[in-house]
Structure 1
Amino acid sequence: LTLLQALQQGGGGLKALMRHAVAALLNASNPDVNYPYTTAQVISMFQAAFDSGSYEATKNRLEAANELGCPLN
């Protein structure tokens, strides 16, 4: 899937993880956003969750970070 296709997925599990991972990548890659993870960390977290088949904990961590707020308009 492309990043846009991942964002367009509805549902939980892997689909929810994909949405939050894409949002996390966008946040982490913007120098004006003080995001708690680097892009490399986001990719590593996603890959570990994907490989393990256990998505919820990583999805929750990324979701919490994504909801910290954004200074961009």
Structure 2
Amino acid sequence: MKQQRGQAIILVLILLAVGSLVIVPVLDYTTTALRAQRISEDTMAEQCVVDSSLEDALLKLLENLNDPAADYWLYGAN
């Protein structure tokens, strides 16, 4: 009975050691993946802002093509 008890403690200690060796890299990988995801989302949001700004500028230019002030701005004084 005593031998079985000692074997159980050794087995538990081995499992704890193996578990701690496995969980540290997994947590590190998870942290890295979360950071990469956050950076990707920020980059995508910035790209959306740039795209919408360009579309807005093009729309304003197209709306003002017949405006004399737009002609002056686009082509200069002739």
TM-score (norm 2): 0.26
TM-score (norm 1): 0.28
Larger RCO (alpha carbons 8 Å, 6+ apart): 1
Bigger-Rg structure (1/2): 2
